[in-house]
Amino acid sequence: MVIGAYLGLSSCRRRPLKVGGWVLPRLPLRLSLAQILVTSCDWALAASVLYVLLPSPGGLPYLVFFGSYLLAQIAGIISNVPGGLGVFETVLMLLLAPAVEADGLLGSLLVYRVIYYLTPLLMGVVLLGGYELYQRRHHLPSGDSARST
C-alpha cells in the first residue's frame, strides 16, 4: 500500500512535495521503480547470505525465512537501536525457534554481522586510507613551504 502510494505520487505529482520544512523532489516513475527494484534485490541478497549461513534450516523454505528476516529488520529499524543490534537477532530467534536451533542461529547471526556490516566497513576504511595517502603524495606541494603555511 505504501509502495503503491509512493508510485502514485511519483507518476501524478508534478511539483516537489513539501512536508513541514522539508522539500522532497519529484522523482520520475522509472527512477522510482528502479529504486524499489534495487532495494528489493538488496534485501533478498542480504537474507540469502544469512540463509546460507544457517547450520540446518530443517525444511525451512527460503520464502518463510525471508518473511521472518524482513520482520526482524523492520523491528530493528523501528527500535532506533543502531544497526538494530540485539533487536534483529532476538526477533529472528523468536520467529525461527522451532525450525532452527538457537545456538546455531546465534553463530550464523554473528558471522552474518561480520560479512554484511564489518567487512564493508573495513574495506571502506582501507580504501579511504589509501586514497588519502595517494592524495598526500601526489597533490601536496613538496618541501618546507607547505609546512610553513
Tens digits of per-residue pLDDT, 9-31? 778 877 887 888 898 788 888 99
pLDDT at 118: 93
Give the tens place of pLDDT for each residue, 28-61: 889 989 999 999 999 999 999 999 999 876 688 9
Predicted TM-score (pTM) of the model is 0.77
Residue 27 placed within a domain: yes
Residue 142 placed within a domain: no
Residue % of the chain over a pLDDT of 90:
56
- Do 58 and 74 form a contact (C-beta atoms < 8 A)? no
In this structure, are 52 and 85 located in the same domain? yes
Q: In the chain, how many domains are there?
A: 2
Distance in angstroms between the alpha carbons of the first and the last residue of the chain:
59
Look at residues 87, 44, 33 and name the one whose alpha carbon lies nearest to residue 67: 44
pLDDT at 57: 65
